[in-house]
Structure 1
Amino acid sequence: MLFTSGSTGRPKGCVIPHRAISNTVTWYTRDLGITADDRLSWFCSPGFDASCLEVWPALRAGATLHVVPDEARLDPVRLRDWLVDSGITVAFFPTPVGELLLDLDWSAGPRPALRHLVVGGDRLRRGAAPDLPFTLTNVYGPTEATVVSTWVHLDGSTVGDEPPSIGRPVPGTWIRVLDDEGRPTPVGVPGEAYLGGRQLGRGYLDLPEETAARFLHHPEYGPVFRTGDVLRWRPDGQLEFLHRADAQVQIRGFRVEPGEPEHHLRRLDGVRDAAVRGWADPAGGHYLAGYVVPDHPGVDPAELARQLAARLPDYLVPTAWTILSALPATESGKIDRAALPEPDRTSAEWADTGTPPADDLERRLHDLWCAELGLPALGVETTFFALGGTSLTAMRLLNRVRAETGGTIGVLDFLRAPTVRAMARRLREAGSEPTGAAAQPARIRGTL
């Protein structure tokens, strides 16, 4: 059983037959040449379907599985160094984490044992640099088709303006890109992806209506899963991911149905009505925005976020909030989600009115935080996560701080006191306060 986000507030359990997971694991193990001599990393939570690509291939091949330590999870430089020092040969990471690793310089220091870096769960926005000492593999696939449906090994020739492809179907599976009439689309023409083959799940447990809406019987192709993903074929026979055809969004590698946090938000005290939708962020990812019609004046979005965080995983908690007198509606009375206003995170209303920076170092850190979070101002004693920060933005922020100051903030230190003031204090204690031009660590290729 693999779980995915559900619109009713409860995750949907997708029934995956043994032959499906066996096909996935067999293909992955053979394609990457995993043997008992390999050392695989384990980064993903067991609740994330991609952990199947970390645990089961290692067990099948008799390889060793190494859990990524906590101090390396939010720091791409430490994560790279851990991969090298631990002799990891095959690693999977969610796409946003993999992109941070691709931004680092791998040429200095000992040559890594790493042969394959596999990324998936979100749209990859860059190819592989020619000097990477390992193969970069991009995978795509929904939970309902057992994690991976397509794959491609990328090399230096994929660097360019266009995003990398998602490759071709894995052995034992197939993909049809169909138009609104259910007909195959020509090369270059977008259409919705329908998946079939040995990795097809059996449906959602105890959810017959949702199963019937997604797991279909096509008159020509037989049993298929309707993905809701819009793809197109390239002239070279590979597939390109374009966007979702519905309201689902990818949040830090997780496929999210906004109806799930919306369901919980409506049940909170002080909320008369509510909606949640996804928006693209400047970094190329997505975030969730919450829209609230309060029961009474004085409803605090920060308190709503705290209550949701006690009920939901952090990636399902909105990081931007808008208070409305009423939700926009269509003529039929349904929520008009297209009319929900995009939060303006650069406007004055997003500026935190807390404690201002007290000195030069705090001002420099304040500006780095604002740039990463997309805010015009913030209080130096306001916590990073209360400002909408996530584990991914924390990784990017710590990298920015290292590139700017030459100093390192320990991940656990940051999590214990994630404020500008505490960060400045840690840098001073470590003797890393900049005095002139910023020190540039030798192994950073550029700022993130």
Structure 2
Amino acid sequence: MSQRGVTSEPIETDSATSSTGMSRRAVGGAVAVGLAVVLVAGCALWGRWLDANGYSLHLGNAWPVAGHWQTRLTWWQVVVVVGAGLWVWQGPRLARDLSWRRLLAVVFAVAACWPVALALVDGPAALTAPLLTPYEYLHDVGRVPDLTTFLSGFNAHVLDPPRWTTHVSGHPPGFLGLLTVMDRIGFGGGGPAAALCIIAGAAAAPATLSTTRVLGGEELARRAAPFTAMAPAALWIATSADAFFAGVAAVGVCLLAHAANTTSRRGDLAAVGGGLLLGASLFLSYGLALIGLLALGVVLVQRRVRPLLIGGAAVVALLAAAWLAGFNWFEGLDLATQRVRMGQGWIDRPAWYFWFANPAGLALAVGPAVVAALAWIRRDRFTIIPACVLTAVAVALVSGLSVGEAERIYLPFAVWLLPLAGLLPGIRWWLGAQAATAIAIATFLMLWW
């Protein structure tokens, strides 16, 4: 054992696993990837058939994700390929040799640069374009007349008359309020908003990695580090508000996991911080209420209750404060649900298609390594993470409120599946597959987000 708590064996090996068990899991991983390929291809063909027969999926023509087929070959692809190659080559070594804090810093840096590099395939404007459409939050910043009455009047403008645009009306007021404050203090526009999404989205990587270390051990966390920094999910991190949501929720869950790992006063402070961030995430997306399953899981699996009581008190305090300021979260959820069901997308889209298309979009976002790693899940505390995340996704799917665009909507949950890839042998091969998937999507699809 080295001073940093990792084994002296090469990071690609796992001597504790028998050759027979490895063979069975390798076959299981190959089957899982094969089924995912069939699912994605099947949804693409099915989407084409539906489009040709009068159904409108409102996704473009790149089913099951939102976008269009469009090949772009520029010099920037060379930069992306070279950068990916360097990380595939050096990432596992850095994950093995760096001190833990330096590794987290490197992972954050790569997780911030990778989505930017992928977005720049379409030029610098691609970093802000998805945030500047008439359906996004920035469009409504100018519609906020008075911050002092913003919360109390927010729900009144969701349905009739609908002052707020599509994404604003389908979410709580948190992100619009944050962008409005930024605008009032001189940081308005697409650039600062994009930077906010990128930084927060990148923060999800060290947060999920740190939580993996608490529940699964340092060796697994170090093996997972290259995958959390570079995944196909990065395609939606530089260009959507959901990346910001993912980062806030991930840090909140991470703090709770650490709070449950200690009995000191610092643990109580971490529980307060985690509760405040998770409470704040409820004001970013109604769907993030489901992240509560993961928050419960990472604490209870450590046989602690105190962090949940402290964190839960912080969440309730935020909900109460918002209610006193005039915003009823539960009323907002009901109104947003009504607004979604009144939308043309809800009316036109055949819901049964998305029972398959949503998992297919999620599979593309997490990449083949994570899909293959499902066959390598072992029985230990770390298993609570994928168990809770997949349960939350299943609940979202059954609710019918996430019809399409799951590669973006499920981003706060997808980031928690990425550490699963640390269970795989042959890290560099699978890391290369992750990079190739992301580059292929960026090259051949013009994504909407």
Indicate the TM-score class for this superposition, using the shorter chain for normalisation: under 0.3
Rg larger in structure: 1
Greater relative contact order (Cα 8 A, min sep 6): structure 1 or 2?
2
The structure richer in strand per residue is 1
Task: Indicate the structure with greater helix content.
Answer: 2
Q: TM-score, normalised by structure 2?
A: 0.27
